Amino acid sequence: MIGVWVLLGAVVVTALVAAVTKAVNGRFRAVVPVSASASPPAVSTGQPSAPAAADGVSVDDLGGAALGRRATFLQFSSSFCAPCRATRLLLADVVAAREGVVHVEVDAEANLELVRRLNVLRTPTVLVLDADGVVRGRASGAPRRDQVEAALDALAAP
C-alpha cells in the first residue's frame, strides 16, 4: 500500500513540475539595463569589461551583423537543439512582417564568451535588443508568436 502512495506522490510532483515548466518556458521577461540600476552587479569575474559588455551587445559581438533600427532578436542556438529550429522559423516570420526588426542567430557553442557574459543557460535563448544593442528582454526556451509580438510591442512603448 505504501508503494501506491509513493507512486501517486511522484505522479503529482511530476505533473506540478511539468505545469510550471510549461508556464514559464519561452516567456519573455523585461531586463533592466545595468547602467539604469542603482548599484553595480554583485558578482565580478575579475576581468575588465567595456560598457557594452555590461549594458548590451555590439556589432562586433554579432560577428559584424547589423542591429535593427527598431529591435534585434538575438537567438542563441546549438546544433542539436530541435526547439531552436522552430524558434528560428518563428522569428524569421515575425521579422518579415515588422519593419526595422532584425533576427540574428548565434551558435552558442562557438561563442562561449558571449554566452557567459549574457548568462545564457540553455538553448534556445532569445534576447530582445533595442536599436542601441541594449538587452531589453529575454526568453529561455521556445517562445510563442504572441509572446514575441508582445515583447516587440513592449519595446516600442514608452
Q: In what order do the strands lie in the sheet with 101-107?
A: 29-30, 135-140, 125-130, 71-77, 101-107
Count of domains observed in the chain = 1
CATH code for the domain in which residue 87 is found: 3.40.30.10
| Residue scoring higher pLDDT (101 or 30) | 101
Question: What residue numbers bound the domain in which 80 lies?
Answer: 62-142
Q: Please indicate, yes or no, if residue 50 is contained in any of the structural domains.
A: no
Q: Please indicate, yes or no, if residue 90 is contained in any of the structural domains.
A: yes
| Separation CA 56–CA 140 (nearest Å) | 17
Q: Which residues, 6 or more positions from 67, have their beta carbon under 8 angstroms from its beta carbon?
A: 57, 59, 102, 129, 131, 132, 133
Asked if residue 121 lies in contact with residue 13, where contact means CB atoms within 8 angstroms, the answer is: no
Q: Please indicate, yes or no, if residue 23 is contained in any of the structural domains.
A: no
Q: Is the pTM of this model over 0.85?
A: no
Q: Please indicate, yes or no, if residue 76 is contained in any of the structural domains.
A: yes
Q: Please indicate, yes or no, if residue 67 is contained in any of the structural domains.
A: yes
pLDDT digits (tens, 9 = 90+) for 101-147: 999 999 999 989 999 999 899 889 999 998 888 988 888 889 999 98
Q: Which band of pLDDT confidence, cut at 50, 70 and 90, is reported for residue 74?
A: very high
